[in-house]
Structure 1
Amino acid sequence: MEDIFSRTRMLLGDAALERLRKSRVAVFGVGGVGGYVVEVLARSGVGAIDVFDNDRVSPSNINRQIIALHSTLGQYKVDVAAARIRDINPECIVTVHRMFYLPETADEVDLSVYDYVVDCIDTVTAKIELIRRCHRQDIPLLVCMGAANKMDPTAFRVSDLAKTKVDPLAKVIRRKLRPEGIRHVKVVYSEEIPMKPQFFETSDSNESLNSPKKNIPASNAFVPAAEGLVAGGEVVKELMVES
């Protein structure tokens, strides 16, 4: 009988779909990359998805974020993502967390309840804190590196943080984690050398390199999407394998 997962079942089989249905995944950051991760998880039949973000949809998001539409402007991204997940798979258990994951808020989150964690956060200190805590608790984690200032959607690779090259964000995180002895982290990263934007805008928000005022990175419709699809697919492939 045809249902929303019939084509997936043809490829993966019942057992794999059942493992996905019983899985709970947390996605931290539901912007350009994270929104597409959530899309993959929902359309693949993951049974429980938690979304973490405290940002609202703005006009500048529309060029690349799947949840960003004129009809969703001003809404919390997690609320829009949750509505989309439920519209795709009404049986999915969606939990919304209106929060920015940071070292000072990390204690509010019990990571042990998740079968997999996906990091799509922009803030370096937050990424490191999430990596650190997942490492301590032996929780499967996939970390998404930079997608800004790039034009090649085919340059993304799934690798170990220790083996990454070119990506400046990966280099920073690798250096900061080295004193803690954390070397092996699964990441999605691009081997494309970042471009220099044609011009710069500035922001006072606490993002990326954790600067109080920084240049806003440039982006397009297809590179963040490609990273999110690669990341989401990697999580699905790992979850569906019997442990």
Structure 2
Amino acid sequence: MNNKPYQRSELIYKDKIKKIKDSNIIIFGLGGVGSVAAESISRNFIKNLTIVDYDIYEVSNLNRQLYSNYDNIGKKKVDVLKENIKKHCKDTNIVARGEKVTDSNIEGFFNINYDYVIDAVDDVKAKLAIIKYCRDNNIPVVSCMGTGNRINPQMLTIDDIFKTFNCPLAKKMRKELKRLGILSLDTVFSKEKPVETVDKKLGSTSFVPGSAGLLLASYVINKIAFEE
């Protein structure tokens, strides 16, 4: 009997499965996008997974964030995700960092060599700190742009950030990245024009953020498996 938890993935990736199993990945942001990315990445049974988020679960998270439920309101997202991931991922070393990312502390998150970095945070300053550190240190990174006010997950795609459109967050990021001299960045974004909401508040669905998280996870795992 084959008791390897990755046996079905091994049928697809064959000898590349070792590269996946030996990989180290860090995910910044565990909201509607990042929580799904973390769950999907974890089911590839990698060596080290670091998850970073300073926030707690609130009622407004219930419509889209993995593991958000009434029992977890007020609990730290990193603690809840670590506990749940460990139930199916016993051999992966999972590090939970309940801290906010800033320019001054970004280096402290990189105490091991990561094969890939996933940026799923909303804050522009935090995104820039993550991306700049990765570029300065030649660490592969993929970043997610806005998924709020969208209703069609089929409009999500992966492209260079300077080819993005219909995304206010990406527009801000392009300006700031140019200022930093960063002229390319692999990005998940939606081609869909955002839906207008009452008082211009940011709305969300259960399916667009999660689909973006799955795109991030598939992109990273396939990059690790197939790129030399």
Q: TM-score, normalised by structure 1?
A: 0.89
1:106 and 1:141 map into 2 onto residues whose CA distance is: 14
1:228 and 1:170 map into 2 onto residues whose CA distance is: 17
1:62 and 1:199 map into 2 onto residues whose CA distance is: 22
Structure 2: unaligned runs, 5 residues or longer: none
SS at match of 2:16: helix
SS at match of 2:170: helix
Q: Is the 8 A contact 2:52 2:78 kept in 1?
A: yes
Residue 171 of structure 2 corresponds to residue 171 of structure 1: yes
Once the two structures are TM-superposed, the CA of residue 242 in structure 1 deviates from its matched residue by 5.0
Partner in structure 2 of residue 61 of structure 1: 61
2:8 and 2:120 map into 1 onto residues whose CA distance is: 28
Calculate percent identity across the aligned residue pairs: 28
2:138 and 2:112 map into 1 onto residues whose CA distance is: 9
Q: Is the 8 A contact 1:112 1:137 kept in 2?
A: no
1:218 and 1:58 map into 2 onto residues whose CA distance is: 15
Once the two structures are TM-superposed, the CA of residue 3 in structure 1 deviates from its matched residue by 3.3
1:47 and 1:112 map into 2 onto residues whose CA distance is: 12
Counterparts in 2 of 1:95 and 1:112: CA distance versus 1, 3 Å? closer
Once the two structures are TM-superposed, the CA of residue 166 in structure 1 deviates from its matched residue by 1.6
Partner in structure 1 of residue 208 of structure 2: 223
Partner in structure 1 of residue 185 of structure 2: 185
Once the two structures are TM-superposed, the CA of residue 47 in structure 1 deviates from its matched residue by 1.9
Q: Is the 8 A contact 2:159 2:187 kept in 1?
A: yes
Q: Is the 8 A contact 1:17 1:45 kept in 2?
A: no
Q: TM-score, normalised by structure 2?
A: 0.94
1:4 and 1:70 map into 2 onto residues whose CA distance is: 30
2:60 and 2:186 map into 1 onto residues whose CA distance is: 30
Partner in structure 2 of residue 211 of structure 1: none
Partner in structure 1 of residue 133 of structure 2: 133
Residue 226 of structure 2 corresponds to residue 241 of structure 1: yes
State the AA in 2 paired with 1:40.
Answer: S
Residue 56 of structure 2 corresponds to residue 83 of structure 1: no
Q: Is the 8 A contact 1:188 1:227 kept in 2?
A: yes
Partner in structure 1 of residue 10 of structure 2: 9
1:100 and 1:88 map into 2 onto residues whose CA distance is: 27
Partner in structure 2 of residue 151 of structure 1: 151
Partner in structure 2 of residue 42 of structure 1: 42
Once the two structures are TM-superposed, the CA of residue 7 in structure 1 deviates from its matched residue by 1.3
RMSD (Å), alpha carbons: 1.5
Q: Deviations over 1:34-80 (max 9, x none)?
A: 00110111112222100001111111111100121222222110011
2:176 and 2:112 map into 1 onto residues whose CA distance is: 24
1:142 and 1:56 map into 2 onto residues whose CA distance is: 24
Single out whichever of 45-54 and 103-112 deviates more from structure 2: 103-112
2:164 and 2:90 map into 1 onto residues whose CA distance is: 38
Q: Deviations over 1:142-184 (max 9, x none)?
A: 0000010110111111111121122111111111111222111
Counterparts in 2 of 1:151 and 1:18: CA distance versus 1, 3 Å? same
Once the two structures are TM-superposed, the CA of residue 105 in structure 1 deviates from its matched residue by 2.6
How many residues align? The count is 227
